[in-house]
Amino acid sequence: MNNKKIILITGWTGYIGSHWVIAFEKAWYKTVIVDNLSNSSLETLNWIEKILGYKPDFFEVDLRDKEKLEEIFENYSFDWVIHFAWLKAVWESCEKPLQYFDNNIIWSLKLFELMEKFGVKNIVFSSSATVYAPENSSPLVETMTTWNTSNPYWRTKFLIENILEDLANFSGFRVVNLRYFNPIWAHKSWEIWENPEWIPNNLLPFIMKVATGKLKELKVFGNDYDTIDWTWVRDYIDVVDLIDGHLKAYEKISPLSAFQASFPPREKENEWIFETYNLWVGKWISVLKMIKETEKIILKKIDYKIVERRAWDLAEVYCNPEKAFKELWWKAGISLKESLENSFKFYNK
């Protein structure tokens, strides 16, 4: 146990964070996880225990409670951090912008302060393709302009990216900044998946709740976009592929990894890094196309209703993942068909 790398994960009980814990524990890392449970449940810890056979170290801590968080830093010699403690509902951020700035910005700053104090300067940040300026044309690449975001949630992602870049430049942080947008499916154990109790914000859980009779119909927000079938277009990535990308990102940061041979040599092992990668499949699909592909899997019709556009939706958002393929040796390998089949099995479970 003592020779394991120790990783601090914040916001671990969410859809992505819980997969992260499992993947890294199985890859022989020790995870220490913190969450205030404001938007999640301890039930996730029970799911993780079923999969791993034990419970990872967990602390119910609010990141604003700097004193309690500092105690955790004092008790563990963290090698690096993954930060998932994030409010992420776009509509809610428009209604409660100050709450989102407090949670996503202030909480993050408290965490970064302790990372600097204890010399824990390695971090993989869970960012989003929403930081790309709306005037950029898809497929999006990492060198394109970021700014001009259309809602408070997206702006908090943009601001934290810039804060971390400054911490890399001026405080020696080593940051891998991962941009993704639409993870789908779930853990292969069938114990953890994206299954919100409320009306879903994301497309696939909404479709699956209609497919399994839990909701009457799907809302399609707008059919007047300048796209192939007039509905908006996105790229979807299986969460298993996404977590594999995070593992590869760790290899990018780790100064002791043999994987470092694939990167340009640095003058010092502790030299700062700020690198951004798109973790996407690189294939777009429209809302109506996703409905049709799901219908092929479930062999029945998905009822949907066209409603008004949402103010924050863009016509096309999909990325070019070539940089991650070249530098991280990462590429999404799970097909949309397989993801849809597994999702339907979960919702029928």
Catalytic residue numbers read 153
What is d(CA 340, CA 184) in angstroms, rounded to the nearest whole number? 8
Sign of CA dihedral 134, 275, 236, 50: negative
What is d(CA 85, CA 95) in angstroms, rounded to the nearest whole number? 20
> 70 near 8, Cβ under 8 Å?
no
SS (H, E, C) the chain: CCCCCEEEEECCCCHHHHHHHHHHHHCCCEEEEEECCCCCCCHHHHHHHHHHCCCCEEEECCCCCHHHHHHHHHHCCCCEEEECCCCCCHHHHHHCHHHHHHHHHHHHHHHHHHHHHCCCCEEEEEEEHHHECCCCCCCECCCCCECCCCCHHHHHHHHHHHHHHHHHHHHCCEEEEEEECCEECECCCCCCECCCCCCCCCHHHHHHHHHCCCCCCEEEECCCCCCCCCCCEEECEEHHHHHHHHHHHHHHHCCCCHHHHHCCCCCCCCCCEEEEEECCCCCEEEHHHHHHHHHHHHCCCCCEEEECCCCCCCCEECECCHHHHHHHCCCCCCCHHHHHHHHHHHHCC
